[in-house]
C-alpha cells in the first residue's frame, strides 16, 4: 500500500522567512496530494492540494510543487506569519474520494 514520508518533523523559522516541508510517496498510482493544517486542539483543515497533471500550484503565500518522476512533493510558505504556526500534514491518494494516506506531520514554529 501507499506510504508517505514527511520531513522535517519540526521546523522553526523567523517570522517573514520561508518554510519548506517535503514529502515522498511510494505508490506511483497516487495522483491527488492534499496538504492539511492543524492548529492546537482543532481539526485538520485543507489548505491546498495538487493533482498529478500539474507540477505546481500557488495560493497567495502558499505553493505546492510535485515531481511525479521522483515521487516527491513539497509545501512552500513564504513571508511566514505567527498564525502559520501549526502542524502540517501532507497526504497522498488515488483520487479525492479514495482513502487518503497521511504523513506523520511537521510542527512549524514561527519565531518572533
Partner 1 sequence: DAGITQSPRHKVTETGTPVTLRCHQTENHRYMYWYRQDPGHGLRLIHYSYGVKDTDKGEVSDGYSVSRSKTEDFLLTLESATSSQTSVYFCAIIVGNEQFFGPGTRLTVL
Footprint on this chain of partner 1 (rule: CB under 8 A): 1, 6, 9, 34, 43-46, 49, 89, 96-97, 99-105
Rounded least distance, CB 100 to partner 1, Å = 6
Least distance from partner 1 to the Cβ atom of residue 33, Å: 12
Minimal distance, residue 14 CB to partner 1, in Å: 26
* Burial of 31 per CB tally in 10 Å (0-12, 13-18, 19+): middle
To partner 1, the closest distance from the beta carbon of 112 in angstroms equals: 26
Q: Are 44 and 51 in contact (CB under 8 A)?
A: no
| Neighbouring C-beta atoms of residue 44, cutoff 10 Å | 18
Residue closer to partner 1 by CB (options 69, 99) is 99
Distances (CA, A) of 98 to 15, 16, 37, 110: 36, 36, 20, 33
Residue with Cβ nearer partner 1 (5 or 15): 5
Q: Which is nearer to partner 1, 103 or 110 (CB)?
A: 103
> 1 vs 112, which CB is nearer to partner 1?
1
Query: Nearest Cα to 36, choosing from 105, 102, 95, 88?
Result: 88
Amino acid at each position: 500500500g501507499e506510504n508517505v514520508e514527511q520531513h522535517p518533523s519540526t521546523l522553526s523559522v523567523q517570522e517573514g522567512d520561508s518554510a519548506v516541508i517535503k514529502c515522498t510517496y511510494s505508490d506511483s498510482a497516487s495522483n491527488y496530494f492534499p496538504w492539511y493544517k492543524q492548529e492546537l486542539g482543532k481539526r485538520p483543515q485543507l489548505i491546498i492540494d495538487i493533482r498529478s497533471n500539474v507540477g505546481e500550484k500557488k495560493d497567495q503565500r502558499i505553493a505546492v510543487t510535485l515531481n511525479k518522476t521522483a515521487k516527491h512533493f513539497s509545501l512552500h510558505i513564504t513571508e511566514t506569519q505567527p498564525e502559520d504556526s501549526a502542524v502540517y500534514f501532507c497526504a497522498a491518494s488515488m483520487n479525492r474520494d479514495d482513502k487518503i494516506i497521511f504523513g506523520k506531520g511537521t510542527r512549524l514554529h514561527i519565531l518572533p
